[in-house]
Amino acid sequence: MSDSKEDKPVLGRKPLGIKRTVESGQVQQQFSHGRKNTVVVEVKRRRVLGKPGESTGGAPAATPQADPAPTAAAAPAAPRPAAPPPPRQQQPVRTAPPQSLMSRQELQAKLLREAEEARMNAQEEARRREDAARLAAIEAEKRRAEENRQAAETAASAPAVEEAPAPELTPVAEAPAAAPQEVAAQPVETPVEADAGAAAASTTAAPPPPRRFTPVTPVKRPEPTKPERAKKGEDNRRQAGKLTVTKALADDDSARARSLAALKRAREKERRAHYAGGSKTREKQSRDVIVPEVITVQELANRMAEKGADLVKSLFKMGQAVTLNQSIDQDTAELLVEEFGHRIQRVSDADIEIGIEGEADAVETLKTRAPVVTIMGHVDHGKTSLLDALRGTSVVSGESGGITQHIGAYQVTTKKGDVITFLDTPGHEAFSEMRARGANVTDIVILVVAADDGLMPQTIEAINHTKAAGVPMIVAINKVDKPDANPQKVRERLLSEEIVVEDMGGDVQDVEVSALKKTGLDELIEKILLQAELMELTANPDRAAEGNVIEAQLDRGRGAVATVLVRKGTLKVGDTFVIGAESGKVRALINDKGQQVKSAGPSTPVEILGLSGVPMAGDQMTVVENEARAREVAAYRQEQITRKRTASVPTNFENMFSALSTKVIEYPVVIRGDVQGSVEAIVSALNRISTDEIKVRILSSGVGAITESDVTLASASRAPLIGFNVRPNAKARPLAIREKISLRYYDVIYDLLEEVRNEMAGQLAPERIETIVGRAEVLQVFPAGKKDKAAGLLVMEGIIRKGLNARLTRDDVIVSKTVIHSLRRFKDDVSEVRAGMECGAVLQDTNDIKAGDTLELFEVEERVRTL
């Protein structure tokens, strides 16, 4: 097809052949400044034309060949104005074809051809536009012809039929006649003009003008070939362009098409130009490189967008042989960053935390929130009962041993519709941290004091925590229903703790309540709301949530679960967060009634599912923008924790020797609990029962069921394994039996502590208590039997008895520690001699006795140790 098109003469020039041979070779170009370029060139030979085998293409091809002179004369005229050099280049092109390698001139010709081609493309574009105009003209012409015909028909019916073709033929004859004149005048526009004429002609011959075979008729005249050629050009713009390029090169090669290799080269050149441009911009780019205190070479290279190998090379030049994975310090990194033309931005590891907490909320965004109230007080003073009474539930009945062992968080809606968030803290001394935590996250503290019991140690501790947290307090004097209740005594006793209640002229509110009889509860609620109103508690609910972990645990079915009290913002399902050294995405939120909720606003306690691990109670929860950030912060915090844990105390001679001489017995133990707060409380309580002689060594403590690794760890140290409200899993149980591990299960912390205490005491040797019972002076020494010596004594104080322990001292220095073997008085054996009397005594295992020595007599009592 294309060949047949090529065969058509272009502006009356020689047609292109169908088959051509291609010769190719390489030529080296030399440029200024020693630059070189090797170019692959191809030379296409002109095909021998007029082969008999050519059917359709042959006929029109032969026609223009017959009279090439006028077309050839016209054709070169067309490109000349655009590219004057071609005539000069025609010579080498003509001589070159027989050679396999092209000369430099030929190459230049090629380059010129490419340039010309670009120009021709522009011309083609113009031509296309003109073609469109031409088509419009054809349409107009057609319409006019139609009108004429109709007019003729109406004028004369019979002769009109014969006359009708005449006006159609006239434009055909006129148009080609006009065309050559225009070619001579304005070569570029020629095809367009010719097109118009041709179109006019074709409309007369047949309605579809671009048919290939229509020009057969006008072949006899040179003019019609032009319109035909123009039509081809309309069909194939590329070929039209080719013809013009060849025009620029040589007469002989005018029919030569642009080679495939040339196209490839052009494309390659374009691509190179594109990439070269890209790399240039990249090199120019200067970046702000964030560099932490320590960074690996690879990471630095990534941040600089440079090759790692280049950095290694630069470091090597600086005298540092490092690999990509080795770390360098900030100063070295700075040298590298500057060398590569970037700017350093020094950061510290701790900077990771910067901005994790959102900005301070604007006043207009703040909305009133529910008060958070923590109930504190001594064990069994009725905290849980009071909260149960307020909530209308019964938590206390479900507690092991009736005591609270972890923080409970609940929301209560009052009769008026006000919402109050309550935190119930344990009263037992072991839960001091929990109480402190409770005091720190709360707005108001309710101090529960049993009216029959008064102020107790944990009541005072709670007062101290409250004072430390700077939180207002309301005193709830409970159990006023009891006959021995004395609320006034409680108020007076509070004075000694610097708590002055309103009744006593102070500013601390107090209420008399009975959790059992449910009296005074409304008054208590009122006072809480009054206090909250005074405090003007507000938070912005429309921001990323922040909160505190109240409790955390590892649930068998749900994984790590944390009870969080949202402080500000709204926590939503799907939020990404960091809690302490753990991160995650909120999978589900469960409120205090066990219902799934979609979001939790300020002052709402809520259970979060979707944590990577069990966080520590008291940890901060912060919602962050994405998971990467959450992981980054969590990893940093984890690293800090590990560093702190593994940090070794600097060794010095003093502690080295003290460590060697220490005789402290260690009591190793592995602890597993149901909730994080309980484990924490157990660990701190056990540490507190440690003494100078025996110390609890907690090998491992954690939340969740007892696992195989716990058993293995315990068996390695022959340590007891304590499970608080947890049991071993299926694999750990048989292993524990096999390893003969002492497994202890508890659900009340007092029992646990008591048993551990007894057991630790049992590991200590019984206590020896010495009681001095008498003192005697050695008056003289005389032989007793063959070897032994007897001491003649005067009992100065107390008593001397046979079998008593004795210490013989000489000038206040102990000579020996012995036992009274036998005792005689006037040759009679006696069992004891009292003060003021003389006697003779044989000492066991020693004869080193001298007159003037003193004998100290004592009894030793052995007592079982307690802790």
CA angle 727, 732, 736 (to 5 degrees): 95
What are the residues whose beta carbons fall under 8 Å from the beta carbon of 761, sequence distance 6 or more? 694, 864, 865, 866, 867
673 pairs with which residues across the strands? 703, 724
Q: Is 39 annotated as a binding residue?
A: no
In the complex, least distance from residue 706 CB atom to ligand GTP, rounded to whole angstroms:
26
Q: Does 427 bind ligand GTP (CB under 6 A)?
A: yes
In the complex, least distance from residue 725 CB atom to ligand GTP, rounded to whole angstroms:
15
Q: For helices 104-155 and 222-235, what crossing angle results, to 10°?
A: 110
Beta strand 538-539 with 367-368 is antiparallel
Map residue 825 onto helix, strand or coil.
strand
Q: Cβ closer to ligand GTP: 89 or 385?
A: 385
Q: Cβ closer to ligand GTP: 248 or 753?
A: 753
Q: What is the 3-class SS of 161-200, one letter each residue?
A: HHHCHHHHHHHHHHHHHHHHHHHHHCCCCHHHHHHHHHHH
What are the residues whose beta carbons fall under 8 Å from the beta carbon of 451, sequence distance 6 or more? 477, 478, 479, 480, 482, 485, 486, 487, 489, 490, 512
- Cα–Cα distance for residue pair 490/482, rounded to 1 Å: 14
Q: Which of 163, 189, 481, 832 binds ligand GTP (CB under 6 A)?
A: 481
In the complex, least distance from residue 461 CB atom to ligand GTP, rounded to whole angstroms:
12
Instruction: Tell me the site size for ligand GTP, rule CB under 6 A.
Output: 22
Q: Which of 403, 764, 781, 835 binds ligand GTP (CB under 6 A)?
A: 403
Q: Which of 426, 438, 704, 840 binds ligand GTP (CB under 6 A)?
A: 426
Q: Which of 479, 568, 637, 801 binds ligand GTP (CB under 6 A)?
A: 479
> Closest Cα partner for 249 from 38, 82, 127?
82
- Cα–Cα distance for residue pair 537/527, rounded to 1 Å: 15
Q: Does 459 bind ligand GTP (CB under 6 A)?
A: no
Q: Is 416 annotated as a binding residue?
A: no
In the complex, least distance from residue 398 CB atom to ligand GTP, rounded to whole angstroms:
11
Q: Is 650 annotated as a binding residue?
A: no
Q: Cβ closer to ligand GTP: 165 or 402?
A: 402
- Cα–Cα distance for residue pair 784/356, rounded to 1 Å: 90
Q: Mark the segment that binds ligand GTP (CB under 6 A) among 163-171, 243-251, 477-485, 502-510.
A: 477-485
Q: Which of 43, 396, 545, 606 binds ligand GTP (CB under 6 A)?
A: 396
Q: Cβ closer to ligand GTP: 324 or 516?
A: 516
Q: Is 380 annotated as a binding residue?
A: yes
R_g of the chain computed on alpha carbons: 54
Q: Is 821 annotated as a binding residue?
A: no
In the complex, least distance from residue 673 CB atom to ligand GTP, rounded to whole angstroms:
17
In the complex, least distance from residue 458 CB atom to ligand GTP, rounded to whole angstroms:
8
- Cα–Cα distance for residue pair 160/658, rounded to 1 Å: 136
Residue 706 structure tokens:
């007892």
In the complex, least distance from residue 637 CB atom to ligand GTP, rounded to whole angstroms:
32
In the complex, least distance from residue 404 CB atom to ligand GTP, rounded to whole angstroms:
3
Q: Is 774 annotated as a binding residue?
A: no
The dihedral sign for the CA sequence 695, 699, 701, 705: negative
Q: How far apart are the first and last CA of the chain?
A: 108
> Closest Cα partner for 485 from 383, 384, 381, 387?
381
Q: Is 479 annotated as a binding residue?
A: yes
Q: Cβ closer to ligand GTP: 107 or 516?
A: 516
Q: Does 551 bind ligand GTP (CB under 6 A)?
A: no
Q: Mark the segment that binds ligand GTP (CB under 6 A) among 23-31, 128-136, 158-166, 381-389.
A: 381-389
609 pairs with which residues across the strands? 561, 588
> Closest Cα partner for 9 from 194, 317, 243?
243
- Cα–Cα distance for residue pair 624/543, rounded to 1 Å: 11
The dihedral sign for the CA sequence 329, 334, 337, 342: positive
What are the residues whose beta carbons fall under 8 Å from the beta carbon of 302, sequence distance 6 or more? 308
Q: Cβ closer to ligand GTP: 499 or 513?
A: 513
- Cα–Cα distance for residue pair 100/718, rounded to 1 Å: 93
Q: Does 404 bind ligand GTP (CB under 6 A)?
A: yes
Q: Does 514 bind ligand GTP (CB under 6 A)?
A: yes
3-state helix, strand, coil in the chain (%, to 5): 40, 25, 30
Q: Mark the segment that binds ligand GTP (CB under 6 A) among 112-120, 192-200, 423-431, 753-761.
A: 423-431
Q: Is 242 annotated as a binding residue?
A: no
Amino acid identity at 608: I
Q: Cβ closer to ligand GTP: 385 or 701?
A: 385
Q: Cβ closer to ligand GTP: 382 or 704?
A: 382
In the complex, least distance from residue 752 CB atom to ligand GTP, rounded to whole angstroms:
15
Q: Does 482 bind ligand GTP (CB under 6 A)?
A: yes
State which of positions 359-378 bind ligand GTP (CB under 6 A): 377
Q: Is 480 annotated as a binding residue?
A: yes
Q: Mark the segment that binds ligand GTP (CB under 6 A) among 109-117, 265-273, 420-428, 585-593.
A: 420-428
Q: Which of 116, 117, 193, 380 binds ligand GTP (CB under 6 A)?
A: 380
The dihedral sign for the CA sequence 505, 509, 515, 521: positive
Number of H helices, E strands in the chain: 25, 35
Q: Which residue reads 């992981």 in tokens? A: 631
> Closest Cα partner for 404 from 376, 377, 424, 375?
424
Q: Is 425 annotated as a binding residue?
A: yes
Q: Which residue reads 């296409």 in tokens? A: 44
In the complex, least distance from residue 614 CB atom to ligand GTP, rounded to whole angstroms:
23
Q: Does 171 bind ligand GTP (CB under 6 A)?
A: no
Is residue 248 a contact partner of residue 90, using CB atoms and an 8 Å limit? no
Q: Does 457 bind ligand GTP (CB under 6 A)?
A: no
The CB-nearest residue to ligand GTP is 427
Q: Does 382 bind ligand GTP (CB under 6 A)?
A: yes
Q: Which of 135, 322, 516, 588 binds ligand GTP (CB under 6 A)?
A: 516
Q: Is 424 annotated as a binding residue?
A: yes
Q: Which of 89, 190, 374, 384 binds ligand GTP (CB under 6 A)?
A: 384
In the complex, least distance from residue 478 CB atom to ligand GTP, rounded to whole angstroms:
5
Q: Does 794 bind ligand GTP (CB under 6 A)?
A: no
Q: Is 406 annotated as a binding residue?
A: no
Q: Cβ closer to ligand GTP: 383 or 527?
A: 383
Q: Does 402 bind ligand GTP (CB under 6 A)?
A: yes
Q: Cβ closer to ligand GTP: 426 or 677?
A: 426
Q: Is 383 annotated as a binding residue?
A: yes
Q: Is 381 annotated as a binding residue?
A: yes
What are the residues whose beta carbons fall under 8 Å from the beta carbon of 51, sequence distance 6 or more? 18, 58
Structural element, H or E, at residue 770: strand 767-784
Q: Does 385 bind ligand GTP (CB under 6 A)?
A: yes
Q: Cβ closer to ligand GTP: 696 or 749?
A: 749
Is residue 179 a contact partner of residue 223, using CB atoms and an 8 Å limit? yes
Q: Cβ closer to ligand GTP: 481 or 555?
A: 481
In the complex, least distance from residue 456 CB atom to ligand GTP, rounded to whole angstroms:
11
Q: Does 696 bind ligand GTP (CB under 6 A)?
A: no
Q: Cβ closer to ligand GTP: 516 or 689?
A: 516
Q: What is the DSSP string of 235-287?
A: H-HHHHHHHHHHHHH-STTTTPPPPHHHHHHHHHHHHHHHHHHHHHHHHH---
Q: Which residues are annotated as a binding site?
A: 377-384, 424-428, 478-481
Q: Which residues are annotated as a binding site for GTP?
A: 377-384, 424-428, 478-481
Residues that bind ligand GTP (CB under 6 A): 377, 379-385, 396, 402-404, 426-428, 478-479, 481-482, 514-516
